[in-house]
Every structure is written in structure tokens, then in C-alpha cells.
Amino acid sequence: MKRYLINAFGEDRPGLVAKITKKLFNSKANLGDLQMTRLGGIFALLLEFFIDQSQQAKVRTKLQQLATDESLKISMIDADPYGTEYSEQDPNMIITLYGADRPGIVYEITRVLGQQKVNIINLETRLEETSTLYLMVMELHKPDTVDKNQLTEQLEKTAEDIGTTIRIRPFDPPEL
């Protein structure tokens, strides 16, 4: 079995996930991770699936046909060439940040993280249409080599400079 990824975009309406997954199900694909959201009101889907390599071309054709029929943008890639150096890391830190919307919030914060080799595992931001409040939630992996206090200080300073409130919490949920 080989691993592939799909992304799909289109005008949001009921039935799209079923239409896409039906094509995969009929080709005996097994789904892995899936995320679907409305991104700025647009249907947006990211999906991982596993399938026998011999079925690959057929699935690709079916998905392209579906894209044409339903006015979707669908692309499919082979996931196997991607390395896993960072993909086994557990999150150990959560950041929430909010403030008046302005350009550069995500860039300023993620720039600090990137410089320190802190890896982002999940990132979601929201700007509701009728609101000027920008919200961001991130799950991160901070390597042990990065000083926690120094990173916190840097992030707090950056957040303040861009007029936002930041909360940095360790992430270590107990197993009960």
C-alpha cells in the first residue's frame, strides 16, 4: 500500500465529502487523516489515504472527472517521498494569541518560532467576517535545547509589539 494526499477546494455545499470519499472507497482506498473546513467560506479539504499502487492512475482519473463535474480543484500527490525527521514529534507547548486584526500577526510570531527551530504541529487562525478580532491557536514542539524562558520572553515581546495578547502554556496532558 502506498500513501497519497489530496487537497480539494470548491464552492461550499452539502455532499462534497461524500462525493470525494465515494471515489476513494470504490477504489478500495483506506483513509488516514482528514481535515475539512470552510476556509474563508470556501470548501477546503485535506486528506491522506492508502491504496495499492496499481490503483493510483485510476483514482487520479476518477478524481479529475469528479473535479470537472463538480467544479472543484482537486490535486493528488504521492506522500512517500517526504521525510519524517520532524513528523514524530509530540506537541509540548500551546500558544493562544488574539488582538485587533492587522497584517503581519502570523508572520511576526512564526518568524520567532522558526528562528528558534520550534516546530508548528497545528495552527489555526480565525477572522470572522464581521469582527476585527484575530484569533490564533498553535500546538508546538519546542526542542529541549531551546530555553523556555528566553523563548517566552521573545514571544511576549513580539506579541506586545503587534498589539496582541499571548498565552503560552506547557502541553503535557495526563493519561488517565
Partner 1 sequence: MAVKKILTLPDETLKQRSRPITEVGPAEQQLFEDLRDTTRESPGFALAAPQIGVLKRAICVDASQAKRPTPDNNGEVILFNPQIVSGQNPEVNREGCLSVPKYTGDVERYQKIIVKGIDINGESIELTSHEWEAVAFQHEIDHLDGIVFIDRISSLEDGLFKRKPRG
**How many C-beta atoms surround the C-beta of residue 134 within 10 A?**
19
Binding site for partner 1 (CB under 8 A): 33, 37, 84, 87-91, 94, 121-122, 124, 137, 139, 171-176
Least separation in angstroms between residue 91's CB and partner 1 is 7
Q: What SS3 class is residue 87? A: coil
Nearer to partner 1, 90 or 144 (CB): 90
Which residue lies nearer to partner 1 by CB, 14 or 103? 14
d(CA 28, CA 56): 11
HSE-CB at 38 with a 13 A cutoff on CA atoms is: 10
Taking the complex as a whole, how short is the minimal distance between the CB of residue 29 and partner 1, in angstroms?
Answer: 17
In three-state secondary structure terms, 31 is: strand
> What is the distance between the alpha carbons of residues 112 and 149, in angstroms, rounded to a whole number?
14
Residue 90 vs 161, nearer CB to partner 1: 90
Alpha carbons within 13 angstroms on the beta-carbon side of residue 16 total: 22
User: What is the smallest separation between the CB atom of 156 and partner 1, expressed in angstroms?
Assistant: 22
Beta-sheet pairing, 73-78 with 42-51 = unpaired
Q: Which is nearer to partner 1, 26 or 37 (CB)?
A: 37
Query: Which one, 13 or 38, has the nearer CB to partner 1?
Result: 38
- Report in angstroms how near the CB of residue 154 gets to partner 1 at its nearest: 24
Shortest distance (Å) from residue 38 CB to partner 1: 11
